Structures are given as structure tokens and as C-alpha cells.
Amino acid sequence: MSTWRPITKPSLWKRCLPGWLHAPAVVLFQIFVAAVVVGLGVCFFYFIAASKYDLDEVVQLPTATLYYDRNGKALEGVGGAGRKLVKREEIPDFLVEALAAREDANFFNHSGVDFKGLLRATVRNIKDRDFTQGASTLTMQLARNTFDMRQKSLHRKAVEIALTLRIEGRYSKDEILTSYLNRIYFGSGAYGVEQAAQIYFGKTVSQLHPGECAMIVGIIRGPHIFSPLRNLDAAMEQRNQTLARMVAAGFITQERADAVKELEIRLADEGKPTVGATVSSYAMRHVKAELERIMETEEIVSGGLRVTTTLDASWQKRLENELRRALSDIEAEGGWEHPTLSSHEPGSEAEYLQCAAVTTQTNTGAVLALLGGRDYSHSAYDRTRSKRDLGSAFEPFVAAAAAERRKLVFAGKPIQTGRQIGPAEVVRLAKRCGISGPFLETEDLFRGAVAATTMEMSVGLATLGNKGKKPKPYFIESIKDSEGKLIYKAEPRRDAALSEQAASEAVGVLQDRAGTRCFTGATGSERDAWTLRLGPSGSTAIWIGFDVPKKIAGEARLKALLDEFVERLGN
């Protein structure tokens, strides 16, 4: 029986490879197939993970952040209610191109993920052994902001990529870009590009010129530090960097960039409230600024925060009402016609009496009330930041310096008290209490030749009332996330500034009125009037005067009217 069989011709790949490579090639092929299967499995896993997210949320606004006073009372007029959605046709093309150039030059060409950039970032992260590079596209940033994905891990990044591809499949490039600009935070209480345009430039986004568009885009990377209302020079530099990126990306020529730099940047008048602004009072501006320092921008943008402030709404209202009444009494006494606030152009220097007041909790520094002016709706300029002459209101600090050096304190005689130690020692002690000056370092200093802000005087008074320990002022007591979980709790800070004995003697120069220690009076020029009130728990400093300094009233009569105000304020 014949056993002959035809010879089987070897496969093409075997004929192309030497015999000794056949076995390794088979192993490599099996590894490749296994890798493909594993890769498909991983892709399927993350596709399922990404499918759990509701893409409708991409075009919806985040839940507003809510604010409460220290007693749990809701503070009205704050949060995200003022945010306004804009449509793509309302956004200038120059702003769109600036955004793409600065944040994602290939936005209109990729499918949501820049894989080349992602590979470069991955290599860099491996070298650094940390997540130092992200390679996030605009769509990836939108996914992260929409669904609050902040954890730095490979798993989170993979979910983000899968979710990004879903978003790109669901929405057009214009819809993605518009949702991004409507959602992100631009600093200074501006949620979304429309509020940013209103707050920074006093106009709608459709009215922005190219220079303003470039500046708004530049703010995105540092909403707090690049806010033009806080640091115009830094904001201008960001504008220039954005224009440079537009040139590099081919959106504009260098000549066009140079021409844009010549366009005037005119910020919205700080004294004129703008449409869409979410901050409704002087105090809430400080609260929001502190929130920006405490929380990451993404956490603020995601919304749903519950912020308990240090403010006491009842005391704030009481202080505000009594101050307005006191100012009206002073105006009536001086024979001035009671001002009609609406008759003055918003943002202009007020021709009528103004005020500033700060109450801090003496033992903690928690700010219980803050008034930066007489009427926020007319003038949003915060006068608690303005330094004004102190005059005789500086006497407690002269007394504190003398007592610290174990010298005699002569109540009502600050010159005699101060001469025992000299101006330099008084300046040193005042600075330790939080008063930064400028100081006139002559004997006129003992008469009050020094300027201070209302906040500095409130903290300085609290230092005297707190046995020589200076509290650090703060506006936020605690923060909870949207699920009610506590994510921040304030820790009051107190620093030793002077001895308890010196602080006690300094308080002794204030008038004792039914459980409160007070000072009321005016400077020698009668252009600035002060009230210092050390109550059972709060230290209040109040300034009264004109924005453009001029005589208010005779010192004696002014003091009498302020004394009446203090009596009405009570405990």
C-alpha cells in the first residue's frame, strides 16, 4: 500500500521568514490577538462606564451655590441666578478663535481627543512620575466640568476620554464650544461668558471688541489671579499671550495682533453695578472673593455648594438702617437737602455723605457685618478699602503703646501719653494691631496724623478687646457640597500683638456706656468722623465722610449726633 502524499506548500509568512523565527512569530501573533481582545474589552468597559452619564446635563446650568448667614438664614440675591445662557450667534468669531488658539488649537479638526498630545503628556507623566500634564481638549474640559471629574487617575482619564467621544457624537462643535463658555467660571463672581462681559466691561458678549475677547479668554487659566478688576496688568499680559497664540496658530497675522493691542480696554466702572452680576452687597463681594481663595475653580463652577458665612443678617440690617438714619440727621443738621440717590450718575463720586462700617467678632475675627457705602445699588465702590485720617480715634493705640512700655496712660491726653515713648514706638505697636499707616512720625502722630481703613480699625479694636490677641478676619464659616457633606470649616487665628494689661488700659480710654466701650468724634479738619464700638461680642468701626473730602459739620455737634446714633444702636 502506497504512503505517498502530496507535499503541502508552506504558508507565505513561513516562506518569508527563516525557520528559526517561525515559533517566535507564532507567539508574537498570539500576544497581538490577546492584546486586541483585551483592548476591545477595555474599550467596551469604559464605553459602558461613560454611558451612565446623562449627556443632557452638558447643555444645562449647574445648580446655584447658596449662601446663608451664621444663623442659617438664606441670603437673598446671591448664587448662580444671574447667569445668562448665550447662543453661538451671539459670541464673536474672534472670541471663538482666541479660545481655540489658547486652549485647543485643533478643536475643529479632532474628534474630541488629541491623541498625539495625549501620548506626549503620558510620556511626560511617566518621566515625572506624577500627573503634571493633561493634554485636555475643550471637549474634555467640558466633560470634566459638567460631571465634576477632578480625581487624578488613569481610570478617571479613561472615563473622561470615553465620555468626551460620546459628547462629540451627540453635539456639534458649535454646541460644545457654546456650552463650555456658558458653564466655566471667569472670576469676580462671573459664571459664564455673558456675566464675564457684563462684570468686566459693562456690555453684552456680542458687543466685545477683539481686545476684550482676548482678555476674557486669557482669564480662564486663572480666574482669580488674572481678573482685571484685581490685577489689570496681569490681565493685559494674558491678553497679549492669547494674541500671540492666535498668531502662532495661524488665526491672525502679527499685524492684526498689534492692531488689537492698540484697542482701548475700558473696564466697567467699579462704582456702577452691572447687569448679570451675582454679588448683591458689599459684604457678599468679600464672601465670594474668599470662596475663590478656598475652593478650586472647578469646584465653584460645578455649583451646588452650601456656604455658611460669618455674617449676621439681623445685625447687618440694623447697622445699615441706623447708619442711614444718622447720615440723614447730620445732613438735616447741616441744612443740606436730603440727597436723591437716583439723581446722581451711578459710578460718579458721591456728592452726599458716605459711610463704611465693619463689625468683627472680637474673639475670632469672624466678620459679622460690612458696609462699603450708603447704597450699593447706586455705588458699588467699597469704601472699607479706603484709608482715611483717624484724628482722635487713634488715641486707644497711643495708650496701648504707652502701657506696653509700662508708662502712664493719661485718658483724653494722647500727646502727653505719647511723649513718654516717642512716635516710633507708637507706630510699631499700631502695626502689630493691624494698622498699616501711613504714619506721620512726629508728635502730630499722637493727635492722629495717621490713615487707616475701616477693616483695619475694626481688627485693631478687636485686638484691644481680645486681651492683646489680634484676630484674622474671615467671611466663611463652613462649606458643604451638594450632598450636604462638610468640605471646609474655618479655623479662627489669633496672634499675640501686645500684653493683656496694655490692651486693658487702652480699652479704658474709651467711654463706658451700658456694657459697651465707645468713641465718637471727628478729625481736626472735621472732614472725617469715626465711631468705635467695643460691644459684648463685636468690634465695630464706622467712618463717615465725603468721597471727595470736605468739612462735614462742627466737631462738637457731629460728636453729639454720633453719640445719639450709638445710643440707638444699643447692645
Could you tell me which residues come within 8 angstroms of residue 105 by beta carbon, excluding any fewer than 6 positions away?
245, 249
pLDDT tier at 336 (50, 70, 90 boundaries)?
Answer: low
503 and 385 inside one domain: yes
Q: Is the peptide bond before 273 cis (omega within 30 degrees of 0)?
A: no
Return d(Cα 68, Cα 75) in angstroms, integer: 5
pLDDT of residue 271: 43
> What is the arithmetic mean of pLDDT over 363-385?
91
pLDDT of residue 80: 45
565 and 462 inside one domain: yes
pLDDT, greater one: 76 or 482: 482
pLDDT tier at 113 (50, 70, 90 boundaries)?
Answer: confident
17 backbone dihedrals φ, ψ, rounded to 5°: -110, 145
Q: What is the CATH number of the domain that holds 194?
A: 1.10.3810.10
3-class secondary-structure state, position 469: strand
252 and 356 inside one domain: no
Range from 134-138, 142-146, 418-422, 482-486 carrying the lowest mean pLDDT:
134-138
pLDDT of residue 28: 76
Residue 131 inside a domain? The answer is yes
Q: What is the CATH number of the domain that holds 371?
A: 3.40.710.10
Domain final residue, candidates 245, 277, 309: 277
273 and 344 inside one domain: no
Q: C-alpha cell of 425? A: 514706638
Domain final residue, candidates 251, 277, 303: 277
3-class secondary-structure state, position 55: helix
pLDDT of residue 554: 85
- Indicate the length of the chain as a whole number: 571
Contact 465, 362 (CB under 8 A): yes
pLDDT tier at 435 (50, 70, 90 boundaries)?
Answer: very high
> What is the arithmetic mean of pLDDT over 514-542?
90
Which of 358, 357, 362 lies closest to 374, judged by CA? 357
259 and 389 inside one domain: no
3-class secondary-structure state, position 494: strand
Burial 366-383 (b: 16+ CB within 10 A, else e): bbbbbbbbbbbebbbbbb
126 and 206 inside one domain: yes
Q: Do strands 306-309 and 66-68 pair parallel, antiparallel, or not at all (unpaired)? A: parallel
Return d(Cα 403, Cα 503) in angstroms, integer: 8
Residue 519 inside a domain? The answer is yes
Domain final residue, candidates 228, 249, 277: 277
| Rg for the chain, CA atoms, rounded | 32
141 and 222 inside one domain: yes
pLDDT of residue 344: 43
Residue 53 inside a domain? The answer is no
Residue 222 inside a domain? The answer is yes
The pLDDT tens digits of the residues spanning 45-102 come to 667 766 777 788 888 776 678 899 999 998 855 544 456 789 999 999 999 999 999 9
469 and 562 inside one domain: yes
Return d(Cα 411, Cα 424) in angstroms, integer: 20
Range of the domain at 557: 317-475+492-569
How many domains is the chain partitioned into structurally?
A: 2
The 8-class DSSP code of residue 302 comes to: T
What's the pTM? 0.72
Residue 201 inside a domain? The answer is yes
401 and 511 inside one domain: yes
Contact 332, 438 (CB under 8 A): no
**Per-residue pLDDT for 524 more than 90?**
no
pLDDT tier at 15 (50, 70, 90 boundaries)?
Answer: low
Distances (CA, A) of 10 to 13, 19, 175, 555: 8, 11, 57, 113
> What is the arithmetic mean of pLDDT over 158-175?
87
Summary mean pLDDT of the chain: 84
pLDDT of residue 486: 95
What secondary structure does DSSP assign to 549-565, as a single string? ----S-HHHHHHHHHHH
- Measured at the CA of 131, the angle between CA 126 and CA 134, to 5 degrees, comes to 105
> What is the arithmetic mean of pLDDT over 455-475?
97
pLDDT of residue 264: 94
385 sits in the region (left: phi over 0; alpha: psi -120 to 50; else beta) called alpha
pLDDT, greater one: 30 or 363: 363
Range from 213-222, 253-262, 295-304, 531-540 carrying the lowest mean pLDDT:
295-304
pLDDT, greater one: 168 or 297: 168
358 and 425 inside one domain: yes
Contact 461, 543 (CB under 8 A): no
Residue 5 inside a domain? The answer is no
**Distance, first Cα to last Cα, the chain:** 123
Q: C-alpha cell of 38? A: 483585551
Contact 136, 149 (CB under 8 A): no
Residue 32 inside a domain? The answer is no
pLDDT tier at 342 (50, 70, 90 boundaries)?
Answer: very low
257 and 340 inside one domain: no
Range from 377-381, 388-392, 423-427 carrying the lowest mean pLDDT:
377-381
501 and 413 inside one domain: yes
Return d(Cα 89, Cα 98) in angstroms, integer: 16
- State which amino acid sits at residue 454: T
Return d(Cα 181, Cα 537) in angstroms, integer: 45
Strand partners, 542: 357, 531
Could you tell me which residues come within 8 angstroms of residue 83 by beta carbon, excluding any fewer than 6 positions away?
61, 182, 191, 192, 194, 195, 276, 278
pLDDT of residue 560: 87
Residue 408 inside a domain? The answer is yes
Longest dimension (CA), the chain: 139
Backbone CA torsion sign across 306, 310, 311, 314:
positive
